[in-house]
Amino acid sequence: MAKIVFESVTKTFPTKDKKEKAEFTALDGIDLEIEAGEFLVVVGPSGCGKSTLLDLLGGLTRPTSGQILLDGRPVTGPGLDRGIVFQQYALLPWRTALGNVEFGLEATGVPRRQRAAKAREFLDLVGLAGFEDRHPHELSGGMRQRVAIARSLAYDPDVLLMDEPFAALDAQTRESLQDELRRIWQRTGKTVVFITHGIEEAVYLGQRVAVITSRPGRVKEVVPVSFGDRAIGASGEDLRSSPEFARYRHEIWTLLHDEVARAQQLEKEEASV
């Protein structure tokens, strides 16, 4: 059975509308299966429910109807089997970079003496060696996000949930972290659910790319991405400039473009009511 199964998952939020019991459907009947060890990327227009989908999988909120199964068991709350990198940096402001990474390790029972070494190793991995003792307010936005990534990797969860983790980074840092994440994924066999606005990022990282529609959020299409033996040997640059890459990019761009246009149309219609 698949590692993660979404079964007709719907999520509605109450609205502040004057009408009684008005509600807003963020996600509507999501059916999706994610295999163990798979790298699934989710793309969709702003506001289509991507973060909501990840919150549900992380157990931070509950579906209004339907259910999510993880290893065959319904998700009922957060757990150490899932590491989450949020869209907004979620660091503890009173702790240093090192302390923030150690925080994830405390819950998993890594002995105190090993924690610092392990936290250093992961800060190093995301390019933050030398910044261990800085507090979040002394770090740039991109650096904070890298601390958050190091924290989620350090305690070695089975499943990594990442909500636009590289969006705030400069292009060079983004590409090197994409490569790093791909290596970690290949090495560890983690199941990754990765949200992004970047079509290139989606094609580069994803084994499959799920395109979500806007309002309500539904799965429009899941595009399998395959470059044959790409993962073995091909450098990022080779891959990105290949004709297959361009073909996938265009395919997803087209799916997304239609959705963004539809979302804008909906907004216009609402504004004129």
Ligand X SMILES: Nc1ncnc2c1ncn2[C@@H]1O[C@H](COP(=O)(O)OP(=O)(O)OP(=O)(O)O)[C@@H](O)[C@H]1O
- Binding interface with Mg ion (CB under 5 A): 50-51, 87
Closest separation in Å from C-beta 272 to Mg ion: 27
Closest separation in Å from C-beta 209 to Mg ion: 16
Most distant CA atoms of the chain, gap in Å: 62
Closest separation in Å from C-beta 98 to Mg ion: 28
Closest separation in Å from C-beta 260 to ligand X: 11
| Other beta carbons less than 10 A from residue 4's beta carbon | 22
Using the CB atoms, write b or e for 16-45: b if 16+ within 10 Å. Answer: eeeeeeeeebbbbbbebebeeebbbbbbbb
* Residues engaged in binding ligand X (CB under 6 A): 13, 24, 26, 44, 46-52, 87
Q: Which does 49 bind (CB under 5 to 8 A by kind): Mg ion, ligand X, none?
A: ligand X
In the chain, where does DSSP find H-type helix?
50-58, 97-107, 112-125, 141-154, 171-188, 199-205, 236-240, 243-271
Q: Which does 205 bind (CB under 5 to 8 A by kind): Mg ion, ligand X, none?
A: none
Closest separation in Å from C-beta 105 to ligand X: 29
Q: Which is nearer to ligand X, 26 or 209 (CB)?
A: 26
Q: Which is nearer to ligand X, 234 or 260 (CB)?
A: 260
Q: Which does 226 bind (CB under 5 to 8 A by kind): ligand X, Mg ion, none?
A: none
Closest separation in Å from C-beta 227 to ligand X: 27
Q: Which is nearer to ligand X, 79 or 198 (CB)?
A: 198
Q: Give the closest residue to 12 by CA, choosing from 32, 29, 27, 2.
A: 27
Q: How far apart are CA 62 and CA 56, in angstroms?
A: 6
Q: Which is nearer to Mg ion, 119 or 169 (CB)?
A: 169
Q: Which is nearer to ligand X, 30 or 119 (CB)?
A: 30
Q: How far apart are CA 261 and CA 273, in angstroms?
A: 19
Q: Which is nearer to Mg ion, 167 or 234 (CB)?
A: 167
Q: How far apart are CA 140 and CA 145, in angstroms?
A: 9
Characterize the bridge pairing of strands 23-34 and 4-14. antiparallel
Q: Which does 26 bind (CB under 5 to 8 A by kind): Mg ion, ligand X, none?
A: ligand X
Closest separation in Å from C-beta 215 to Mg ion: 14
Q: Which is nearer to ligand X, 53 or 125 (CB)?
A: 53
Q: How far apart are CA 79 and CA 209, in angstroms?
A: 25
Q: Which does 148 bind (CB under 5 to 8 A by kind): ligand X, Mg ion, none?
A: none
Q: How far apart are CA 247 and CA 203, in angstroms?
A: 10
